Structure 1
Amino acid sequence: MRQRVLLAGIWEQENSDFERQMDELRGLADACEMEVVDVMVQKLPRMQPASYFGSGRLLEIKERLAESEAEAVVLLHECTPSQLRNLERSLNCRIIDRTQLILQIFERRARTKEARIQVEMAMCQYELPRLMHASDHWSRQAGGRNKGKGEQQLALDKRALQRRITSLKRELAGIQEKKETQRRFRQQSPLKKIALVGYTNAGKSTVLNHLLMLSEQAKEKQVLEQDLLFATLDTNVRLIQVKGHTPFLLSDTVGFLEHLPKPLLAAFDATLKEVQKADLLLHIIDISDPQFAIKREVTIQTLQRIGCAQLPCMEVYNKVDLCSDLQEEKRNDALYISAHSEEGMRQLLTALDAWQWEDSVALSWRFAYDQQRELSSLYTYADIETRTEKENGIYLQGKLPSKRRSQFRGYECEEI
């Protein structure tokens, strides 16, 4: 049964993007399988430091909770421990701030052991300051030099939580060491590494699955795709090998989000590493979203924050099938696709081919018949267009990345 919740937020004076943020909050609640029964908003210069809302609006929310039979209030912002405590006392119900809501989604979606550990660690880091403030009232039970029972219990709880965080970090380090070995192995591969990036729910997983289908890969290789925020939490790497096109490794990563809370940064660690190691970023943008320009900018700013702004990036506008008439003029430096209807997917592969071979040179080679090992090595790096077998050897024509030319210079010959 879906939990019934009331959405609530402070519309601060300088916030011109409030309505979009509330719509996104509703999307997050839906992703957490909550039923939104009402929405309450208060316009203020800034949120109240003690109780988030003003006293009058708190009374209105309490009445609305009783009328709608909502079980919890979901807040637009991340709140301080004291704000959460005061709200729970005033409203006599569970209070969930934006950070806690996203953590709950992550907890539901984590599939791999690494993702589950990262989410638990983020939840522990979120709970630590709230644990300290939750027991404030117990600390006043005894005076003088002796600590009260509440302070003693608080210290025990705090140490237990810190020990759990330390244990999780140690366990995560072991998993990440193995992952790093896998990344180093992929770095040695001649295949280009491409990472899908973009705002959450832009369609990155759908793009990956469609390319896997064109690759005739087994269905087991496909990843979860849903029309929900944060449908994908685990980072997945797949080989894309479509007939007639140059193969590459493609990473599906966790979607970005505006104002990403600090406790969640650890949960993005795997995505961060995959993005940093990529040769090319495919920035997937949901052009059917009226706010796509804002979300595009959020992704660009996030890439700058994580030190990936210098990586080559190709913008791909997805979901054109949901747009009866594109309001924006098409850009020549971007691609327009529909991962569901296949529109533009072949053009995407052609564009990726062109990118992979843009720094290459057209050459001819001759290999003796006893040089099969060297010939096999050339096939690893080159795009072979013709092969002719003659009495004095095997002649080939094709393209080779410029940085690999010196490795096979001794086999170059005049055109066949």
Structure 2
Amino acid sequence: METTQQQAIIVGIQLQNDTNFAYSMEELRNLAAACNITVIGELSQKASRINPSHYLGTGKIQELAAMVQDEDTVIIFNDELTPSQIRNLESSLDRQVIDRTILILNIFADRAKTKEAQLQVEVAQLQYMLPRLTGMRESLGRQGGGSGLKNRGAGETKLELDRRRIEERITALQTELQAQVERRQIQRKQRHKNEVPVVCLVGYTNAGKSSLLNAMVETYHPGSNKQVFAKNMLFATLETSVRSIRLPDHKTFLLTDTVGFVSQLPHHLVKAFRSTLEEVTEADLLIHVVDASDPQHEQHMAVTTETLKALGADGIPTVYAYNKADLTGRAYPAVEGDSVTLSAKQSSGIAELTGLIRSHVFNDYIQCEILIPYDRGSIVSYFNEHAHVQEVSYEEQGTKLVLECRAADYERFRGDFVELSN
């Protein structure tokens, strides 16, 4: 069925000392575009505080009413509105009013592909709706019908539920999610048991995290078809993807792609996605991916840093990957300290990034020279598979190896070989 493009006017208040206002409104435009909504107008007001009853002052509401000609035009506010603000605004303007939070929830609902992501989004939607049921049924019902605002899981059928039944639904979803969380925790424990380092890609939405993961996979596992979905749009990735990266010298680490961050990420979503985001808190190393071509990239970095702090992941060692260097005047690939300038799209800078990863997660390796008796051939096979064997020679008493291996493996087989040097 053909759907018409939905239109909207965006509205925001610039409070005193708010230096990020213009950027925040631009981001709201991008969020609307991600919901298939065309922004046809913008209204802003400078104020010392937000009007508790109508968000805007009386004069601005009249100005906004004059701007809204088409009855199908939606008005999007650049904040999370209270239930009473939405009611009062819709009454004054006779138009559908939505806020930044429901816009982001809609994008997440549209992008969620796995069962876990869909459960997480529905929990967040219902928790957002719960205090907004009274007097909002007609408005929220309309949200189920537009092309841009599918609002899956929060359409008219959900609005027929009373508060108690919605609370029961949230409880049931959270029980189901808990089972998913426990499964994920078992997987994490298994990884720790295998002592494989975990490297996590974090960053602002659309910084190129998935593209970077794909470039790493293609570099070290060409033709493996293990790529993840990557697209130039907000929140292309909602699922946590984990790929095992095996380097030519047999060192292995797990590379995890995570959901991107955005300023004012709704607390309902952060809460619902906490189990997914916990992957970040248990990483051995974070790669903070930055879209170096975006003029606002420093603000994006600040948002990411703030979100990591809120998750309790601010103490994890971090490498900075300034991506999309091909769209800037920066020289690349280039390494400076714990930062690398690269282009995931061109797979340029992957070796340099790998070098930084190595220096952080493979510091428990030792260089040694050992002699393994011929009747311990399985140990030679093990080291060939799991260590970097640089030289092999066959002596009278056994196989001599010059190698770099994990200290844990060295200790494990210590009684089975003769140490020539360590």
Deviation at 1:401, TM superposition (A): 3.2
TM value normalised by structure 1: 0.88
- 2:335–2:352: 8 Å Cα contact kept in structure 1? no
Displaced runs of 4 or more, over 6 A: none
Per-residue deviation, residues 51-91 of structure 1 (Å, max 9, x unmatched):
11111211221221106x65211110011110011111112
Alignment match, 2:153: none
Q: Is the 8 A contact 1:27 1:228 kept in 2?
A: no
1:391-406 alignment runs, 5 A limit: 391-406=396-411
- Change in 2 beyond 3 A, CA 1:236/1:96: same
Q: Return the alpha-carbon distance in structure 1 between the equivalents of residues 36 and 346 of structure 2.
A: 28
Does 1:209 find its partner at 2:211? Answer: no
| Cα RMSD after superposing both structures | 2.4
Q: Does the CA-based 8 Å contact 2:285-2:361 persist in structure 1?
A: no
Q: Secondary structure in 2 aligned to 1:15?
A: coil
Partner of 1:189: 194
Please state if 1:161 is matched with 2:163: no
**2:16 corresponds to which of 3, 13, 16:** 13
SS at match of 1:169: helix
Equivalent pair of 1:283/1:313 in contact (CA under 8 Å): yes
Deviation at 1:11, TM superposition (A): 1.3
* 2:7 counterpart residue number: 4
- Counterpart for residue 139 of structure 1: none
Change (3 A) 1:120 1:290: same
Q: What is the CA–CA distance in structure 2 between the aligned matches of 1:349 and 1:330, rounded to whole Å?
A: 11
Compared CA separation, residues 117 and 42, structure 1 to 2 (3 A): same
Deviation at 1:400, TM superposition (A): 2.6
SS at match of 2:322: strand
Partner of 2:47: 44
SS across alignment from 2:229: coil
Rounded to whole Å, the distance in 1 between the matches of 2:51 and 2:76 is: 16
> Offset at 1:8?
1.0
1:245 Cα deviation from its structure 2 partner = 6.8
User: Could you tell me which amino acid in structure 1 is paired with residue 178 of structure 2?
Assistant: A
Call closer, same or farther: CA 1:219–1:370 in 2, change over 3 Å. Answer: closer
Task: Give 3-state SS (helix, strand or coil) of 2:238's partner.
Answer: coil
Distance 1:71 1:260, change over 3 A: same
Residue in structure 1 matched with residue 142 of structure 2 by the alignment? none
| CA displacement at 1:352 relative to structure 2 | 2.2
1:175-324 superposed matches below 5 A: 175-218=180-223, 220-243=225-248, 246-324=251-329
Say whether the 8 Å CA contact 1:192–1:356 is kept in structure 2. Answer: yes
2:59 and 2:302 map into 1 onto residues whose CA distance is: 37
Give the unaligned 5+ runs of structure 1: 136-153
Of 86, 93, 96, the match for 1:94: 96
CA distance in 1, matches of 2:52, 2:266: 19
Gaps of 5+ in 2: 138-158
**How far off is 1:286 after superposition?**
1.2
1:408 and 2:410 are equivalent in the alignment: no
How far, CA to CA, are the matches of 2:335 and 2:254 in structure 1?
A: 28
Separation in 2, partners of 1:295, 1:377: 45
What's the % identity of the aligned pairs? Answer: 38
Give secondary structure in 2 for the equivalent of 1:122: helix
CA–CA distance in structure 2, aligned partners of residues 4 and 357 of structure 1: 53
Q: CA deviation at 1:389?
A: 3.0
CA shift, 1:325, in A, is 4.8
- Give the Cα separation in 2 of the matches to 1:43 and 1:355: 47
Offset at 1:46? 1.5
Compute the displacement of 1:353 (Å).
Answer: 2.8
Q: How does 1:118-197 map to 2 (within 5 A)?
A: 118-132=120-134, 134=136, 157-197=162-202
Q: Is the 8 A contact 1:192 1:249 kept in 2?
A: yes
